[in-house]
Chains A and B, each alone.
Chain A
Amino acid sequence: QQQVKQSPQSLIVQKGGISIINCAYENTAFDYFPWYQQFPGKGPALLIAIRPDVSEKKEGRFTISFNKSAKQFSLHIMDSQPGDSATYFCAASRGSQGNLIFGKGTKLSVKP
């Protein structure tokens, strides 16, 4: 049973466009929702994270939108750049001891 479902599996966006990646979770006890960015040959790196007490968090061109009632959260990349081309993973965890549960990843390609 997959606890965090991520879509789409791959995404192609033109430079300057908006990239949107969606995740849905099942466990209402989850209370931490990070997004990780991974470039080929590298380990994932934290991009941005949100907790369920807010509906949106913005850091530069990256925004997380969180819908607690729908149990969904999404990553929006504004003004997408070729340098944003990477694989993005959403994740969720419960409490300070919980392990991160990752989505299956979205491969983003931003075309010049």
Chain B
Amino acid sequence: EADIYQTPRYLVIGTGKKITLECSQTMGHDKMYWYQQDPGMELHLIHYSYGVNSTEKGDLSSESTVSRIRTEHFPLTLESARPSHTSQYLCASKKAGSTDTQYFGPGTRLTVL
């Protein structure tokens, strides 16, 4: 069982609002990721981090930003939500320096009206 948590699980919000999606893991993993996924569709990497104070953009361009102030915490922020941001956002983590399992959180389903 993966110890990686995401809140909220579901969020419905109006256009223009600022939102932060929370992700935390208790496994001490250095590497963390954010993916965007339309339900049942392919996974798109939007951000990742090698460790504290490290953030990188993924393969899919995203208007969201991330921060990594603590090892266990990797929040994603949208300054001004738009309907095009409606999607599922998945957080993941793995131990750095190995090809060990990448664990996923349960996801946040975001709907922007």
Contacts and interface: CB of A to CB of B under 8 A. Distances in A.
A46 B107 CA distance: 15
B46 to A, nearest CB: 12
25 contacts: A34-B101, A36-B104, A40-B40, A41-B106, A42-B107, A43-B92, A43-B104, A43-B106, A44-B43, A44-B104, A89-B42, A93-B99, A96-B96, A96-B97, A96-B98, A96-B99, A97-B96, A99-B58, A100-B102, A102-B42, A102-B43, A103-B42, A104-B41, A105-B41, A105-B42
Interface of A is mostly: loop
Contacts of A46: 101-103
Given A31-B99, A97-B97, A107-B40, 20 more contacts: A36-B104, A40-B39, A42-B106, A43-B90, A43-B92, A43-B104, A43-B107, A44-B90, A45-B104, A46-B101, A46-B102, A96-B96, A97-B96, A99-B45, A99-B58, A100-B102, A104-B42, A105-B41, A105-B42, A105-B43
A89 to B, nearest CB: 7
Interface in A1-44: 31-32, 34, 36, 38, 40-44
Nearest to A43: B104
A106 to B, nearest CB: 10
